[in-house]
Amino acid sequence: MFQIDNLQAGDIVIWKGEGRTMGMVINTNPDPHDEQAVLIQFFGKHDVLPLHYYYHELDDFLEIGEIKIQHG
């Protein structure tokens, strides 16, 4: 979970596969008493409001190879 544990604003998350999508981490929740999470702003033709992801969700996506993380 190393790649997920050190996510910071400015990191890029790329969803692989058909309809490849890219988003940038715009905020993190550093509170150790709350479940760790990030807000990701997506780019491209499917622009939407930032979406909330828990670290454990992103870790699951990373483990199955559905995402790639590029640290900024």
The owner of tokens 């828990």 is 54
- Across the chain, the runs of DSSP E, i.e. the strands, are 12-15, 21-28, 37-43, 51-54, 67-70
Q: Which domains does the chain have, with CATH numbers?
A: 2-70 (2.30.30)
The owner of tokens 């559905």 is 66
In tens, the pLDDT along 14-65 reads 998 777 889 999 999 877 788 899 999 988 766 678 999 999 999 999 999 9
6-28 core/surface letters (b: 16 or more CB in 10 A; e: else) = ebeeebebebeeeeebebbbeeb
Quote the pTM value: 0.84
